[in-house]
Amino acid sequence: MAMAGAFAASRAFGTEDGSETPLVRFGLVTDLHYADIDTAGSGATARHYRDSLPKLAAAVADFNRREEDFVVELGDFKDLTNGRDGTLAALERIEAEFAKFDGPRYHVPGNHDFDCLTEEEFYSRTPNGGSVGGGYYSFVRNGVTFIVLDGCYTSDAKHYSPAISWSWTDSNIPPDEMEWLRRELAAAQGHVVVFCHQLLDPASDPDCRVKNAAEVRSLLEASGKVRAVLAGHQHVGGQDFVNGISYYTLGAMVSGAWPDSNCYAEAAVYPSGKFTIATNDALLPPGAVASSTRTFALYTSAAATPTFALTSGALSSSFLITYRDGETVTVTSPSGVTTTLSGVGGKIEYAPVSGGLWTFTNSNGEIAHVGVDGSVHGDAPVPVASSASFAADAVGEGPDRKLKNSETPPVAYSGDDWKGDLSKAAKITFTPPDGSGLAATTWNMTGKGAEPFTFNAKGVWTVTLKFADNTTRTAHIDIQAAGLTLIFK
């Protein structure tokens, strides 16, 4: 599975803002689960254990081409291979591939890293920044502090080990580590990025979440320095934005068969505190320049030029389709009507005439899906609850998600689940973009019908639904022209 999604602090989504140069750029991989064993399971949940070796090789080659400052592996680096000895051999094999990166590399402890190995056995074979040792630690690059947390502790503060009985759902940051984190945050001189295998954000699957996550988030928020929290563990990925901090969960590398699937990412931190992240299928080739902040594209990871791209400078503009000589592009409307475009290679402008999920397929079988909000194309206003451009980011989807050829459009595009949720919601809160100077607006939805809301600032708004049982769901909408009014019902 190769998944990408823009979230509140990721407007440029992996492209550099011309007004700012990143302080640091780094590569990310997670949940390789490498083992010399056959694929287990089927479909989307299958684990292709052996395939993680060539997938990591491809990712490292790309990281080297991009000259990343360092790379981070977010946990579950390995799995079980025929007992302890086989597992150690597999760990050494995958670490040797990781070591081909031309720079510092770091590891985050994951639950599967200790299923049959002790801490000493794992850490002694996985150096961080050139030094042997693991657990929780920190490092600084160009003024940015990076904090690695270890969530592999039971509720009684015992570290996962083959010597004790433990459950992967019982993940905790123990008191000693919490106190260490408090000191690290206080000492940090600039922006902070946190890594943890298990998740900390409230939108995540509770089984995948650190049990005392709320307490950890309170420390991070109180510091005022944390820009992003990056995790793995939840194989489908995910994202959230909570009290000024971006939470991003990278999809598992072990998911999907090689060579049709791979998942890795590049992240960057900017002087202003802006944080961006893009997975491999959204990364521009080295040296290429994005034509807008909203880019829908499919690239082969080794390509020097784009293979098939769709870009839109604003929600109300047409899409610019780029393709090669001899190719045709089939456009499928939300209602299933198809149109075939052909001609010499280059760029053709195409204006969708209605809202919904549009599909663009070139003659090589490469696919891009674009969610279009009909209300900004002059049609009757489309309720956001059923609009393709308003997707449930909480389940790891979004309008910027790239789909592999074998995938079907995700449920989040239809918004049907949001329509049902809105009717049950007790409250809906609209949080404006950072720096807009606007205050958040909260409605009591009980008994309400269709309600218009005007987004009076350009940028990424956060929309949160809160239900009677105090559970919440969060989604984001990128407003590219202030004054856009959408109907919620």
Which phi and psi angles does 173 have, rounded to 5°? -100, 110
Q: Where are the alpha helices (DSSP H) in 321-455?
A: 411-414, 416-424
Closest among 258, 275, 355 to 315, alpha carbons compared: 355
Q: Is 33 left (phi over 0), alpha (psi -120 to 50) or beta?
A: left
Q: Is 268 left (phi over 0), alpha (psi -120 to 50) or beta?
A: beta
> Which residue type is seen at 372?
V
pLDDT interval class at 225 (50, 70, 90): very high
Residue 421 in this model has a pLDDT that exceeds 50: no
Residue 360 in this model has a pLDDT that exceeds 80: no
Let me know: does 68 contact 139? Beta carbons within 8 Å: no
Q: Where are the alpha helices (DSSP H) in 239-303?
A: none
Environment class of 347 (CB within 10 Å of its CB; exposed 0-12, middle 13-18, buried 19+): exposed
- Strands of 338-342's sheet, edge to edge? 338-342, 328-332, 356-362, 367-372
Closest among 373, 356, 359 to 317, alpha carbons compared: 373
pLDDT for 191: 97
Residue 203 in this model has a pLDDT that exceeds 70: yes
Which phi and psi angles does 182 have, rounded to 5°? -60, -45
Residue 378 in this model has a pLDDT that exceeds 50: no
Per mean pLDDT, which range of 211-220, 317-326, 351-360 is the poorest?
317-326
The span from the CA of 120 to the CA of 102, in Å, is 26
The length of the chain, given as a count of residues: 489
pLDDT tens-digit series, residues 279-314: 876 564 444 433 332 233 322 222 223 333 333 333
pLDDT for 358: 64
Residue 347 in this model has a pLDDT that exceeds 90: no
Cis peptide before 259 (omega within 30 of 0): yes
pLDDT for 422: 45
**Better pLDDT: 356 or 39:** 39
**Better pLDDT: 475 or 114:** 114
Per mean pLDDT, which range of 62-71, 169-178, 195-204, 468-477 is the poorest?
468-477
pLDDT for 290: 37
Rounded to two decimals, the pTM is: 0.61
What 3-state DSSP class applies to 387? coil
The kind and range of the H/E element at 121 are helix 119-123
Give the tokens for residue 485: 């009014």
| Residue where the block lists tokens 């456009």 | 331
pLDDT interval class at 357 (50, 70, 90): low
pLDDT for 430: 83
> Which residue type is seen at 107?
H
Determine the distance from the C-alpha atom of residue 407 to the mean position of all C-alpha atoms in its chain, rounded to a whole number.
18
